Amino acid sequence: MIASGHFDAGDIPDLSGSTMMVTGATSGLGFQAALELARHGAHVVMACRDPSRGDAAARRIEAACRGAGSTGAGARIGAGATAGTVSLEVLVVDLADLASIRAAAAKFLESERHLDVLVNNAGVMAIPYRQTADGFEMQFGTNHLGHFALTGLLLGSLMEAGSARIVTVSSNVHRLGRIDFDSISSRWQGQRGRYSKMGAYSQSKLANLLFAYELERRLRAAGAKAISVAAHPGWARTNLQSVGPRMEGAHFTGALTELFTRILAQDDAGGVLPVLYAATASGVIGGEYFGPNGPGHWRGYPVRVGSSAASHDPELARRLWELSEELTGVRYDFGG
């Protein structure tokens, strides 16, 4: 296991022969994760909503892995990243649409590949009130329910892989979140005047951790070899923070957000390191949570970090799990 605080992308081992899926792989953390996993020999399934953007991102990764381009990551290339070995696949999935998730999972399972790592990364942040295709509040529906459904549908493939990992990406702001079962059940309908963008986002990020920890408990109870872990990027420069202001036409707020992010945040290649550590480092134990080692865990190299008391509440996690199964119609089969 790499000494705490010293892991970078060059420390990723040879991943040849493994299959790894990353959601939201067209930009930001998801793109950087897909790039480094492919660069080190994995077959990477780039799960994304827009096929044209997915194809463009795949071409960028191929160019970077073959030395024809640069992402600015500055990482040394690992043993599995020899020229010509890059292996990528674009899988179209809209995490705000349960029918799309089911179709994508079915398409992947048709390939009969076992899945070694699933990185639940895609998400939306602090956007105006919107609903998913199934009528859920968009941030909870995408960030939590979409990944809950996708993981459950792919669980058999993950368990067949043996020592597979499910990595769920959360956020520091999970500490501000609380699970409001009344508003979740009502899907925020008729409550737009009370809608809090950041409240909904922090709720979804707390839900990510509750899910990751509860999944780990259930995997252990089933005697599975697969593990569930979580990670957060600290404050990373991606387009996630600017989407909400752009959707509202708040150009000044958007510009100010981008300015502060540019000054204070680390780049996405640095922000993705805790995710890559959780997905690939030796010695990772199920139920662990990784983030940057700097002040406030906003930036720096990946280390094991703590999370809120609420995120470790097993009764809260059980209620959320049962509600998530009810809302998505996805039941986890740990025997398969």
Please tell me which residue in 201, 213, 277, 301 is annotated as part of the active site.
201
CA distances from 161 to 7, 102, 165, 240 (A): 25, 20, 9, 32
Q: Kindly state whether residue 246 falls inside one of the protein's structural domains.
A: yes
Give the burial class of 113: count Cβ atoms within 10 A of its Cβ; 0-12 exposed, 13-18 middle, 19 or more buried.
middle
**CATH number, domain containing residue 212:** 3.40.50.720
Q: Kindly state whether residue 112 falls inside one of the protein's structural domains.
A: yes
Dist. CA 236–CA 300, nearest whole Å: 10
Ramachandran quadrant class, 28 (left: phi over 0; alpha: psi -120 to 50; beta: rest): left
The number of beta carbons lying within 10 Å of the beta carbon of residue 290 is: 26
The β-bridge partners of 291 are 303
Q: Spell out the residues 6+ positions from residue 296 whose beta carbon is closer than 8 angstroms to its own.
A: 172
Q: Kindly state whether residue 336 falls inside one of the protein's structural domains.
A: no
The number of beta carbons lying within 10 Å of the beta carbon of residue 272 is: 32
pLDDT at res. 247:
56
Strands (E), 121-219: 165-169
Dist. CA 21–CA 46, nearest whole Å: 6
pLDDT at res. 317:
98
Q: Kindly state whether residue 4 falls inside one of the protein's structural domains.
A: no
201 catalytic per annotation: yes
Contact between residue 272 and residue 32 where contact means Cβ atoms under 8 Å apart: yes
Q: Kindly state whether residue 1 falls inside one of the protein's structural domains.
A: no
Dist. CA 210–CA 204, nearest whole Å: 10
Closest CA to 86 of 135, 148, 40: 40
Q: Kindly state whether residue 207 falls inside one of the protein's structural domains.
A: yes
Give the total number of structural domains in the chain. 1
Dist. CA 93–CA 103, nearest whole Å: 8
Q: Kindly state whether residue 3 falls inside one of the protein's structural domains.
A: no
Domain that includes residue 271, residue range: 9-328
Q: Spell out the residues 6+ positions from residue 183 whose beta carbon is closer than 8 angstroms to its own.
A: 137, 191
Q: What is the pLDDT along the chain (336 residues), one digit of tens a residue?
A: 344 558 999 999 999 999 999 999 999 999 999 999 999 999 999 999 999 999 999 999 999 998 744 343 333 333 334 445 799 999 999 999 999 999 999 999 999 999 999 999 999 998 999 999 999 999 999 999 999 999 999 999 999 988 999 999 999 999 999 999 987 855 444 455 578 999 999 999 999 999 999 999 999 999 999 999 999 998 655 565 445 444 555 554 545 455 445 545 577 888 999 999 999 999 999 999 999 987 666 778 999 999 999 999 999 999 999 999 999 999 999 985
Q: Kindly state whether residue 185 falls inside one of the protein's structural domains.
A: yes
Dist. CA 280–CA 295, nearest whole Å: 25
